[in-house]
Amino acid sequence: MDIDDELLLHKDLNEWTERKYIIWKAIPISLSYLLQNILPFISVFALGHLGQTELAVATLSIMCYHFTFVALIYGAATALDTLCSQAYTSGDVKMVGIFLQRATIIQLLGFIPIACIWWESEQILILMGQSPAISSKTCSYLRYLLIGAPAFLLFENLRRYLQAQGIMKASTYVLVICCIIDICLNYLLILYQPLSLGFIGAPIATSITNWLMFSFLVIYTKFINGYQAWGGWSRAAFYGWKQIFTLAIPGILMVCSELWTSEFISFLTGYLGELPLASQGILSVLVTLLYQSPFGLSVSASNRVGNLLGAGLVEKAKMTSKLTMQFAIILALFEAIILIVFKDYWGYIFISKDDVVKYTSNVIPLISIFEISDGLNVVGQGILRGQGRQNIGALINAPGYVVLGLPVSIFTAFILRYGLLGLWFGSTASSIIVCIILLIILWRTDWQQQLEECKKRMKEGKDKLESMISDVPDF
**C-alpha torsion 13→17→18→20, nearest 10:** -160
Q: Which amino acid type is present at position 270?
A: G
Please state whether 240 falls in left (phi above 0), alpha (psi between -120 and 50) or beta.
left
Give the pLDDT score at 467: 62
Answer for the pair 464, 443: CB distance below 8 angstroms, yes or no: no
What is the Cα–Cα distance from 230 to 233, expressed in whole angstroms?
A: 8
The mean-pLDDT minimum among 37-51, 307-321, 421-435 falls in 37-51
Q: CA-based Rg of the chain, rounded to a whole angstrom?
A: 22
User: pLDDT-derived band of residue 11, with 50, 70 and 90 as boundaries?
Assistant: low
Confidence of residue 55 (pLDDT cuts 50, 70, 90): confident
| DSSP-assigned letters across all residues of 294-340 | HHHHHHHHHHHHHHHHHTT-HHHHHHHHHHHHHHHHHHHHHHHHHHH
Asked if pLDDT for residue 4 goes beyond 80, the answer is no
Closest C-alpha to 313, from 303, 305, 321, 325 = 305
DSSP-derived letter for residue 265 is H
Contact 361, 344 (CB under 8 A): yes
Distances in Å between the alpha carbon of 321 and those of 304, 331, 427? 9, 15, 26
| Mean of per-residue pLDDT scores for the chain | 91
Long-range contacts of 171-175 (CB under 8 A, 24+ apart): 171/28, 171/29, 171/32, 171/217, 172/28, 172/29, 172/31, 172/32, 172/35, 173/220, 174/213, 174/216, 174/217, 174/220, 175/32, 175/35, 175/36, 175/213
Helices 354-387 & 314-341 angle (0-180, nearest 10): 180
**For the whole model, what pTM was predicted?**
0.92
Sign of CA dihedral 395, 398, 399, 400: positive
Query: Taking a C-beta distance cutoff of 8 angstroms, is the pair 25, 169 a contact?
Result: no
| Digit-coded pLDDT (tens) for 132-164 | 988 999 999 999 999 999 999 999 999 999 999
The answer, yes or no, to whether residue 31 has pLDDT greater than 90, is yes
Q: Which residues contact 172 (CB under 8 A, 6 or more apart)?
A: 28, 29, 31, 32, 35
- Could you state, in order of their start, the residue ranges of all structural domains in the chain? 13-463
Residue 278 CA to residue 72 CA, distance in Å, equals: 28
Confidence band for 52, pLDDT divided at 50, 70 and 90: confident
Arithmetic mean of pLDDT, 105-125? 96
Provide the angle, in degrees to the nearest 10, between the axes of the packed helices 419-443 and 241-269.
Answer: 150
Q: Is 163:299 a contact under the CB 8 Å cutoff?
A: yes
Report the alpha-carbon angle 436-332-410, nearest 5.
60
pLDDT, residue 6, reads: 47
Neighbours of 343 (CB within 10 A): 18
- Read off φ and ψ for residue 131, nearest 5 degrees: -70, 150
Amino acid at 324: T
User: What's the pLDDT tens digit per position in 171-205?
Assistant: 999 999 999 999 999 999 999 888 888 889 999 99
